[in-house]
Amino acid sequence: MSPDMAVLLYDNPVSGNCHKVRLILGLLGIEYERHELSVVDRSDRAEVLTGLSASLNVPTVVLDDGRPLAESNAILWYFADGSRYLPDDPYERAQVLQWLFFEQYKHEPAIAVVRFWVGYAETPPPAAEIEARRTAGRAALEVMERHLSEHDYFVAARFTIADIALYAYTHVAPEGGFDLAPYPAVRAWLDRIEAEPGIVPISA
C-alpha cells in the first residue's frame, strides 16, 4: 500500500462495532474507503482478513501506512488519541478504558448478540438462551443507568470515546427486544449523544 492511500475500513453497515469506527473517523474528518463484508455469510473472511485480523472480525482497519488494526475499541483509542475525544489525564484515560472493557465484557456480548440473533442470524439459539442474554443485557443497562443518574457522560464530564463505544449498541437495543423505558437516565444520555455534531444513528 502506498503512503498516500486512505484508511481502509473492513466494514458492515449493521454492525455496531463498525459503527463506532465510522463515527470516530467522521468526527475527526479522516477520509476512508470501505470494504464491506457480510456478518451472516462469513465464507470469505479468511481470504480477505488473514494477516490483518487474527480473529477475522470486522471492524478491521488498514492505516494509511499499511499497518492493520482490529478490535473496535482499540481502533477508537488509536484514532481518538490526541483529540478532544480521549482525555490526556492518566486517571481519566484509565476511566475510559474501564468503560471500554465494560462495554466489551458485559454490554456487547449481551445486547449486541441478542440483536444479532433476533434480527440477522440464520439459526438463532433456543428462546431460553436468548432470554438469558436479555437478562444479562438488562443488568448492563442498569449499570449504565446508575452511572448516568449522577453523570451526564461516562468520563470527564464530557463526550469521549467511552460514550461512542456504549452508544453503538445501546441506541439499537430495542431491535433486540430491550425496552429502554425503565432507564430514563440512559434515554436522556442517548438524546445528549445524538445532539453531538457528527453523531448519527446506525440506520443513517
Ligand X SMILES: N[C@@H](CCC(=O)N[C@@H](CS)C(=O)NCC(=O)O)C(=O)O
C-alpha span between 26 and 19 (Å, rounded): 10
Question: How far is Cα 70 from Cα 57, in angstroms, rounded to an integer?
Answer: 7
**104 in contact with ligand X (CB under 6 A):** yes
Residue 17, C-alpha cell as written in the block: 462495532
Q: By CB under 6 A, which span of 65-73, 140-148, 152-160, 175-183 interacts with ligand X?
A: 65-73
The grid cell for 41 is 455469510
| Residue 53 binding ligand X, by CB under 6 A | no
What the block records as the C-alpha cell of 185 is 437516565
Residues paired with 158 in a beta bridge: 155
Q: Residue 17, interface with ligand X (CB under 6 A)?
A: yes
Q: Which of residues 23-52 bind ligand X (CB under 6 A)?
A: 39, 42
User: Among residues 2 and 43, whose Cβ is nearest to ligand X?
Assistant: 43
CB of 51 to ligand X, least distance (A): 16
Is 170 among the residues that bind ligand X (CB under 6 A)? no
Q: Which span sits near ligand X by CB under 6 A: 10-18, 27-35, 125-133, 190-198?
A: 10-18
Q: What is the dihedral of CA 186, 204, 47, 64, to 10 degrees?
A: -90
- Contact (Cβ atoms closer than 8 angstroms) between residue 160 and residue 87: yes
Q: How far is the CB of 177 from ligand X (least distance, A)?
A: 18
Q: Give least dist CB 184 to ligand X, A.
A: 28
Q: Which residue, chain included where needed, has cell 440477522?
A: 120
Task: Say whether residue 72 binds ligand X (CB under 6 A).
Answer: yes
Residue closer to ligand X, measured from CB, 72 or 160? 72
Please count the residues of this chain forming the interface with ligand X, following the rule CB under 6 A.
12
128/23 Cα distance (integer angstroms): 34
Determine, following the binding rule CB under 6 A, whether residue 158 of this chain makes contact with ligand X.
Answer: no
Distance CA 21, CA 3 (A): 21
Site residues (vs ligand X, CB under 6 A): 12, 15, 17, 39, 42, 57-59, 71-73, 104
